Amino acid sequence: MDDGLQKLEMFYEGKAKKLYSTPDPDLVIAHFKDDATAFNAKKRGTIEDKGVINNRMSELFFGILEKAGVKTHFVRRLNDRDMLCKRLEIVPVETVVRNIVAGSMAKRLGREEGEELKWPIVEYYYKSDPLDDPLIYAEHALLFGWATEAELRTIHELALKVNEVLRRFLDERGVILVDFKLEFGRHKGEILLGDEICPDTCRFWDKATRTKLDKDRFRRDLGDVEGAYQEMLRRVEG
């Protein structure tokens, strides 16, 4: 599937991906790594073929969302580990949608993990590794110029739309979409969904057993991390 598009200089390396410029200033290549981190990179490891699985799963999810009217940065998958994307100016506000209490929400509010929420809740976090991505109000993003009121409104609406589409899709495949993180960016004056959608950025539980099929298996030393990622890809592809 690689069409020979040339990778130029690497201009960004994150925990899970490297970004390369291309001869087209409007396009970048995202390279998916097998590196695994948790607790803001305080825990590190490797998950075999994670990059391959996350690249393929993100392609599938972006395709489903595009068909549902959610515009994304996805252009096409080039090969096992590389994805061609539109270049975004990332809004430094991570958006988290929660359907069930888990992770930091359970700890922060003293709620039992697994408690179902009466409706999905959208949370915002300031994208800053040195500060451990603190929880913020939408007003912070406005005050500090990270996003405009119109952009935040769009991000909120798109986050709930992504939740609606993926929740239904996964439910049909025996998977509960517990919560997930999204990143958005500006492209030619428009807000697009960026980053990736995969077991690194989402909590997936088996509907029947509530077995975790995501990066929590790595975070919590639950074992069979690779198996969980492979199982999620099998269900999404199936």
Which CATH architecture is the domain 10-86 placed in? Answer: 2-Layer Sandwich (3.30)
Which residues have a Cβ under 8 Å from the Cβ of 93 and sit 6 or more positions away?
A: 124, 125, 126, 127, 136, 141, 146, 147, 152, 155, 184
Domain residues of the chain, as ranges? 10-86, 89-224
What confidence category does residue 1 fall into, taking pLDDT thresholds of 50, 70 and 90?
very low
Mean pLDDT for the stretch of residues 1-27: 88
What confidence category does residue 36 fall into, taking pLDDT thresholds of 50, 70 and 90?
confident
pLDDT at res. 4: 58
Closest by CA to 91, choosing from 48, 134, 126, 56, is: 126
Whether 93 has a pLDDT exceeding 80, the answer reads yes
Mean pLDDT for the stretch of residues 53-78: 98
pLDDT at res. 140: 98
Domains 10-86 and 89-224 share a fold: no
Closest by CA to 185, choosing from 34, 40, 28, is: 28
Mean pLDDT for the stretch of residues 89-108: 97
* Proportion of the chain above pLDDT 70, given as a percent: 98
CATH (residue range 89-224): 3.30.470.20
